[in-house]
């Protein structure tokens, strides 16, 4: 009887062990051809926030682990020196604007005054020319009368007194002609002087152009200082998590020195490692499903967004069925939905299945 019981127990034990072996083989059976699996940790693109200008750190508003939105103020650099430059530039601009306005008004006056003076000088020349013409005609007529009467007086045909009277009138007319000619010359010189006013306009225009150039340079310097002032306040370039604070208030940093590092929460990905023998099956944009311990029944949809060109030895924290001495290729699986990635945190472990044959149905990873 004891022998029968022992045999029965052996049969049950052997049968149980067989079932366990079958179940273990089923549980660890490889995925069907068309699916690849891997695991790793959730990561994100790292962003180093750096300033374009050097300065002393006045205030840092975030610490490690802080969640920031795109556009949030992260850090301020001291701005007293730049603000002083802006005030100085404003004073220079104000002075140049006053000079420019005065020069512009002066130019406007010259542009009205010079043509008017020229017109008056031209009219004066014409009047003087008419006076010379009248005096010339009078002198010529009296000269003829003088010569005629003198000849008659010499013959005794006319009174000598009359001849002398015409002679005196001729002399007076000659003097008037000389004066008229002198006045004409003076009027012509005045016209030339009036026309020189156009050179004054050109000179004033040159002065105005020089002031405009100085004003433009001053405004550009002011704008440059304002840009520098704006850039002394550093803002988050993307929504993310602060993973490192690299400076403290009071430190002096050079231009381009990173002050804070962020992980971009809108571009999270799972980095897995695939054996080299499977590399030929991979290509960009292949679909993938990611399984995370915190969400065991919810696959996250992803796609292949990066395939390393160079092989590396398998990292210690990654589990693979291949021997660890073999080299693998890093593959990044980017989440398709930003809302999905928003609920995740860098560093979370995860498993993934990549499908390179669309006809094969999805299965969970098997380890």
pLDDT score for 95: 95
Which residue's structure tokens are 């299965």?
A: 363
Reply yes or no on whether the pLDDT at 318 is more than 70: no
Summarize the confidence of residues 79-92 as an average pLDDT: 93
Q: Structure tokens of 234?
A: 């550093």
What is the number of helices (H) and of strands (E) in the chain?
5, 13
User: b/e map of 230-253 (b: 16 or more CB within 10 Å)?
Assistant: ebbebebebbbbbbebebeeeeeb
Q: What one-character DSSP code corresponds to residue 32? A: P
What would the pLDDT profile of 90-139 be if each residue is shown by its tens digit? 999 999 999 999 999 998 988 888 888 888 888 888 888 888 888 888 88
Look at strands 240-245 and 287-292 and give their pairing. Answer: unpaired
pLDDT(40) > 70: yes
Residues with Cβ within 8 Å of 237's Cβ and at least 6 positions away in sequence, in order, are 47, 49, 70, 262
- Cα Rg for the chain, rounded, in angstroms? 52
Pairwise CA distance, residues 168 & 150, whole Å: 12
Burial class (CB in 10 A: 0-12, 13-18, 19+), 78: middle
CB 59 within 8 A of CB 365: no
Q: Global pTM? A: 0.54
Residue of 288, 295, 280, 281 lying closest to 337 (CA atoms): 288
37, 115, 158, 244, 344 from 267: Cα distances, Å: 21, 72, 129, 18, 11
For 159-214, write each residue's pLDDT tens digit. Answer: 777 777 878 888 888 888 888 888 888 888 888 888 887 888 888 899 999 999 99
Element at 25 (helix H, strand E): helix 2-27
* Arithmetic mean of pLDDT over the chain: 83
Judge whether residue 21 has pLDDT over 50. Answer: no
> Would you say residue 285 has pLDDT above 90?
yes
User: Which range is least confidently modeled, 173-177, 213-217, 337-341, 343-347?
Assistant: 337-341
């Amino acid at each position: 009887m004891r022998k029968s019981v022992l045999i029965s127990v052996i049969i049950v034990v052997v049968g149980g062990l067989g079932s366990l072996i079958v179940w273990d083989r089923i549980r660890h059976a490889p995925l069907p051809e068309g699916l690849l699996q891997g695991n790793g940790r959730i990561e994100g693109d790292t962003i180093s926030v750096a300033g374009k200008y050097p300065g002393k750190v006045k205030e840092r508003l975030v610490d490690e682990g802080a969640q920031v939105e795109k556009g949030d103020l992260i850090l301020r650099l001291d701005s007293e020196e730049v603000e002083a430059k802006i005030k100085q530039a404003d004073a220079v601009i104000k002075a140049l604007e006053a000079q420019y306005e005065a020069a512009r008004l002066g130019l406007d006056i010259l542009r009205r005054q010079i043509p008017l003076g020229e017109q008056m000088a031209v009219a004066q020349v014409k009047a003087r020319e008419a006076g010379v013409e009248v005096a010339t005609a009078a002198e010529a007529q009296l000269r003829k009368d003088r010569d005629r009467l003198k000849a008659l007086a010499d013959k005794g045909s006319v009174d000598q007194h009359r001849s002398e009277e015409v002679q005196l009138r001729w002399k007076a007319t000659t003097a008037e002609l000389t004066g008229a000619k002198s006045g004409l010359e003076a009027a012509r010189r005045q016209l030339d002087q009036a026309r020189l006013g156009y050179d004054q306009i050109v000179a004033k225009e040159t002065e105005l152009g020089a002031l405009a150039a100085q004003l433009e340079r001053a405004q550009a310097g002011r704008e440059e200082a304002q840009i520098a002032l704006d850039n002394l306040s550093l803002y988050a370039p993307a929504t993310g998590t602060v993973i490192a604070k690299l400076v403290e208030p009071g430190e002096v940093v050079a231009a381009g020195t990173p002050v804070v590092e962020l992980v971009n929460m809108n571009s999270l990905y799972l980095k897995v490692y695939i054996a080299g023998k499977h590399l030929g099956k991979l290509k960009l944009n292949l679909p993938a499903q990611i399984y995370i311990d915190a969400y065991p029944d919810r696959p996250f949809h992803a796609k292949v967004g990066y395939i390393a060109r160079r092989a590396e030895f398998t990292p210690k924290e990654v589990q693979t069925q291949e021997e660890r001495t073999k080299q693998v290729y890093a593959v990044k699986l980017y989440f398709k939905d930003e809302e999905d990635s928003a609920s995740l945190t860098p560093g979370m472990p995860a498993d993934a299945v990549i499908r390179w044959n669309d006809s094969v149905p999805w299965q969970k990873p098997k380890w």
